[in-house]
Amino acid sequence: MFEEIFVAIRTFMEAGGDVLWLIAAATFTMWALVFERVWYINTDHRRDVASALTYWESRTERTSWNAHRIRERLISEVNENLTANMSFIKTLISLLPLLGLLGTVTGMVQVFEAMTYSGGNARSMAAGVSAATIPTMSGMVATLSGVLANTFLSSKVESETEYMEDTLTMDH
């Protein structure tokens, strides 16, 4: 079973050309970072928030200008950790369709080479057309999955930021 899966993946990668390996690497990196952010939000971020809240609640004075700056610093530090790697995820999402387009161009070059050497033989052009369309499709599918993950993460980051701002009260 695993051998059949490996053969199917290898055949797909060969049909898509070398650019498909770049798309796969960028997609893997993007999803690794997405999972890292989800893991962070559900583990270390909780500890960061608890630590900031403990520090803030232990303060006796929370209304002065200095206290406001300390509150802003606490929120900023937690948000800096929370938004780490988010811009790199967005960069990869933007890069994936461009890599798909690069695969389209290289595949079309194969089509033109096949036309040059075979005089327009449809069978020889088919491999180039496949190498042109598979990276485009792969880049777009990876992009769409990344957009969905980024939308989820951005929503989570925004709600966590609002939670921090609402929880660090200014009374006393």
Q: What is the pLDDT of residue 28?
A: 97
The answer as to whether 146 is a domain residue is yes
Q: What is the pLDDT of residue 106?
A: 87
Look up the pTM and report it: 0.84
CA 73, 77, 78: angle at the middle one, nearest 5?
Answer: 120
Q: What is the pLDDT of residue 160?
A: 93
Q: What is the pLDDT of residue 61?
A: 87
Q: Residue ranges of the chain with pLDDT lower than 50?
A: none
The answer as to whether 4 is a domain residue is no
The answer as to whether 159 is a domain residue is yes
Domain of 71, in residue numbers: 16-167
The answer as to whether 72 is a domain residue is yes
Q: What is the pLDDT of residue 171?
A: 65
The answer as to whether 152 is a domain residue is yes
Domain count, the chain: 1
Tens-place pLDDT, residues 138-172: 999 999 999 999 999 999 999 999 999 888 877 65
Q: What is the pLDDT of residue 96?
A: 96
The answer as to whether 51 is a domain residue is yes
The answer as to whether 5 is a domain residue is no
Question: Which amino acid is residue 165, in one-letter code?
Answer: E
The answer as to whether 94 is a domain residue is yes
State the CB neighbour count (10 A cutoff) for residue 128. 20
